[in-house]
């Protein structure tokens, strides 16, 4: 008979279970049973087909401040420094593009790992003996999945935790992140070029 993910009332019983081969205690964290995800410190803003679509990480305040500063710099330069109408239009277009890419990267699900079928069907006491079993998320991690201590959640295709986006960068938002890096580089280079150009012309 297959065993299911334990209810909160069963967690204490599981925690007291000891392996026959060693005395290692099994510590399991509560899981959102409806969604089958351990979300940790991540706040899911939108679900689609019972999968997280948009989420905010624990560093959401730093993300918000970074977003405001980046947008403010472009707008201030466009209206206070630049005199050329064409340069203003290009810069404002870059401000909008940068903002959209930044928001997309910061809100997109980074690849929060779900409880695998194997984790749900097999005995959790048995699975907990494996080195790649995450006791908090209650999943068997593959070689690309890593548990982020900051977000307190397992991320598939984990690359790093980025405080500027407020969350981890993983399989879900990896391409979006490097698109963001590219657009940010173009954005700031253009800001510097037109600023120095207009200052030299004055």
Residue numbers annotated as active site: 162
Label residue 116 exposed, middle or buried (CB < 10 Å: 0-12, 13-18, 19+). middle
Angle (CA) 169-178-174 rounded to 5° is: 35
What contacts 54, CB < 8 A, 6 or more positions away?
A: 44, 45, 46, 107, 108, 109
CB distance 17 to 125 below 8 Å:
yes
């Amino acid at each position: 008979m297959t065993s299911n993910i334990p209810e909160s009332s069963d967690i204490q019983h599981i925690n007291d279970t000891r392996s026959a081969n060693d005395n290692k205690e099994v510590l399991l964290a509560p899981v959102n049973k409806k969604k089958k995800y351990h979300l940790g410190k991540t706040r899911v803003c939108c679900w689609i087909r019972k999968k997280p679509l948009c989420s905010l990480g624990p560093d959401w305040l730093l993300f918000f401040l970074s977003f405001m500063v980046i947008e403010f710099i472009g707008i201030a330069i466009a209206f206070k420094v630049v005199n050329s109408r064409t340069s203003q239009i290009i810069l404002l277009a870059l401000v909008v593009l940068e903002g959209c890419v930044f928001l997309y990267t910061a809100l997109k699900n980074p690849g929060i790992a779900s409880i695998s079928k194997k984790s749900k069907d097999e005995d959790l006491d048995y699975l907990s003996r494996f080195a790649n079993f995450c006791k908090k998320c209650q999943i068997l991690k593959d070689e690309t999945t890593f548990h982020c201590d900051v977000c307190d959640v397992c991320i598939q295709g984990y690359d790093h935790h980025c405080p500027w986006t407020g969350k981890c960068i993983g399989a879900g938002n990896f391409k979006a992140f490097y698109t963001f890096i590219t657009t940010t580089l173009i954005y700031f280079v253009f800001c510097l070029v037109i600023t120095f150009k207009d200052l030299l012309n004055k």
